[in-house]
Chain A
Amino acid sequence: MKFLVYRFVPGRDARPRMQRYEVALEPRDRMLLDALERIRATQDDSLAFRRSCREGVCGSDGMNINGRNGLACITPLAGLREPVALRPLPGFPVIRDLVVDMTRFFEQYRSIKPYVIDDAPPERERLQSPEERGRLDGLYECILCACCSGFCPSYWWNPDRFLGPATLLQALRFIADSRDRATAERLDHLNDVYRLFRCRGIMNCTEVCPKNLNPARAIEQIKLHMSKMLI
Chain B
Amino acid sequence: MKAIPGALSAWLVQRLSALYMLLFTFYALGAWLLARPTGYDAWRAWALAPPMRLPGLLFSAALFAHAWVGLRDVLLDYVHPVPLRLGALGLVAAALALTAFGLAPLLFAP
Contact = CB atoms under 8 A, between A and B. Distances in A.
A60 interface: no
A84 interface: no
Interface class of chain B by DSSP? helix
Contacts of A194: 76
A231 interface: yes
B88 interface: no
A119 B8 CA distance: 28
Contacts of A230: 1-2, 4, 8
Contacts of A231: 1
A200 B78 CA distance: 13
A94 to B, nearest CB: 22
Contacts of B5: 188, 191
Nearest to A192: B7
A225 to B, nearest CB: 10
Interface in B17-69: none
Contacts of B4: 230
Contact of B77 (A154, A191, A223, A226): A154
Contacts, number: 36
Interface in A178-227: 188, 191-194, 196-198, 200, 223, 226-227
Contacts of B11: 197, 223
Contacts of B10: 193, 197
B7 A191 contact: yes
Q: Is the interface of A mostly helix, strand, loop or mixed?
A: loop
Contact of B8 (A154, A157, A198, A226): A226
A157 B78 contact: yes
Contacts of A191: 5-8
Nearest to A153: B77
Contacts of B77: 154, 157-158, 198, 200
Nearest to B5: A191
A200 B4 CA distance: 21
B13 to A, nearest CB: 12
A189 to B, nearest CB: 10
A156 to B, nearest CB: 10
A223 B14 CA distance: 13
A158 B74 CA distance: 12
Nearest to A231: B1
16 contacts: A154-B77, A191-B5, A191-B6, A191-B7, A191-B8, A192-B7, A193-B7, A193-B76, A200-B77, A223-B8, A226-B8, A227-B8, A227-B12, A230-B2, A230-B8, A231-B1
Interface of A: 154, 157-158, 188, 191-194, 196-198, 200, 223, 226-227, 230-231
